[in-house]
Amino acid sequence: MNLILLLTALLVTATVSSAKVITRGIAYEHAGVKLEGYLAYDDAKVSAKNPAPGVLVVPEWWGLNDYAKGRAVQLAELGYVAFATDMYGAGVVTVDPKKAGELAGQFYGKPLMAQRARAGLDQLLASPLVDKARVAAIGYCFGGAVSQALAYSGAPLVGIVSFHGSLIPASPEAAAANRAKFLVCHGAVDPFIKAEELAAFLKSMNDGKFDYQFMSYAGAIHAFTNPKADDVAKATGLVGGIGYNAAADRRSWAHLRVFFEEIFAVKKG
């Protein structure tokens, strides 16, 4: 009996150890700019014969750094195929707010924002691991705004999640083109989102008859999901503007999981 138990334990251990998250860089190009995204999936849960929902991850305005890649890995651990997209160019990242503002500024208010994000989405959709009918986008700060713009363009998304993102009101044309349900995770005391901006965004959601959820987390400011936000704030002079909030981080990720179970029709188990 002991021998049988030992062999069973070894078999289970071997099975568990063989399951791992696979990650790799994916080179692609858009409008003459060489880009490199980051694909993540669990090879024990996903295959071409067993495709999974896909999630596009759009980084903060710092660029495609380890934080965005880490979120892609977390999604892969949940059983999704995640692709952290590159908005700026292969290897272009910064910790300088001025430079980040310049990099992100080239997209706001321009079709390029949705177009560059769509180039990343097309890379995700090209993977045989992805169930093309079940694809969403999530984004952080700048990436939250990008996810909204991508949905407004009519991209084939069943949902988006914006974490402490800039808020872009939907025009009537955007509302007509949109196919996605929205989950907006917002810091209740985010100093970068003015009351009138928030009101305009919510009005556009209601006027456009969006299927949306708006979660406001008490005490949370900008970048509340990023554990390194406090260090960045001190280093860049943004104390009081950006900062980590563990409760809001935990709750918003839990809200994402429930949202994905709904839009992807994922069974709990």
Tens-binned pLDDT, residue by residue, of the chain (269 aa): 444 444 444 444 443 444 689 999 999 999 999 999 999 999 999 999 999 999 999 999 999 999 999 999 999 999 999 999 999 999 999 999 999 999 999 999 999 999 999 999 999 999 999 999 999 999 999 999 999 999 999 999 999 999 999 999 999 999 999 999 999 999 999 999 999 999 999 999 999 999 999 999 999 999 999 999 999 999 999 999 999 999 999 999 999 999 999 999 965 44
Pairing of the two strands 159-163 and 81-84: unpaired
Give residue limits of the domains in the chain.
22-263
How far apart (Å, rounded) are the C-alpha atoms in residues 46 and 175?
A: 33
- What is the reported pLDDT for 266? 60
Topology of the domain comprising 22-263: Rossmann fold (3.40.50)
- What is the reported pLDDT for 48? 97
- What is the reported pLDDT for 267? 52
- What is the reported pLDDT for 19? 64
- What is the reported pLDDT for 4? 43
If you search the block for the tokens 């099975």, which residue do you land on?
Answer: 15
- What is the reported pLDDT for 5? 41
If you search the block for the tokens 């009138």, which residue do you land on?
Answer: 196
| Residue type at 39 in one-letter notation | L
- What is the reported pLDDT for 124? 98
Give residue-wise pLDDT tens across range 44-65.
999 999 999 999 999 999 999 9
